[in-house]
Structure 1
């Protein structure tokens, strides 16, 4: 996010003597896309962290299906940013490398969540860290079991 913001600020505030683009202000569309993708990813991460920490159990919003849909959207955004061809510049090469790392991380999260949801048939179950069918209030009837009864 920081690299994208710095690049965007630099190219939209060129001095007239700057050799880049002969001092004419411009911006790279893909840099804006990566900046927006980074911001969306930050908000998504905060939402997921809040869901896991507070163990929210709302039907659709906090289910594995919702997580997989969100991760798939982030996957597409990151791969679009990573596959764009940049000019030969060190700064843009670093930006491209971070885009590929972001894409790789989202892909790994997507695959792990998908495999977990498939293995446990948990697409409509809550995605918080304490996933256990017997210890959740998710659904119509509480499913708590008491040891020793």
Structure 2
């Protein structure tokens, strides 16, 4: 099924778009026709014209008996517009995610470098503490030897 679509036949009023509220209000359904003699039998998919008329009345028309029909092809530009909008939102999200990922990678590099520097400083401090402890042990041993020598001298002097 085709419809005329030549630009020479149209006066463009505005871009075709609908808000997310309207788009989400449209309720796709699966159904079977009550009178299958006038329509294809079996499971079908579509919308209820009464519901669509609430949001997009220009896509719904009534015959002389008040029976509603819907211009399904007229819905396509709105669907495409909404998909384009969602695609732009997705691209913006992907861009933000990429920027955040880059920022986090830089922060990780900086944190890794800072951590390596801190580990190096810790290693130096541990070596200094070990050297200071060894030196203290040597001094303590020297002091203990000196004290023992003084105690021995004092005992000898007192014994005389």
Q: Normalising to structure 1: TM-score of the pair?
A: 0.28
Higher relative contact order (CA 8 A, sep 6+): 1
Which structure's residues are more often strand, by fraction? 2
TM-score by length of 2: 0.26
Structure showing greater Rg: 2
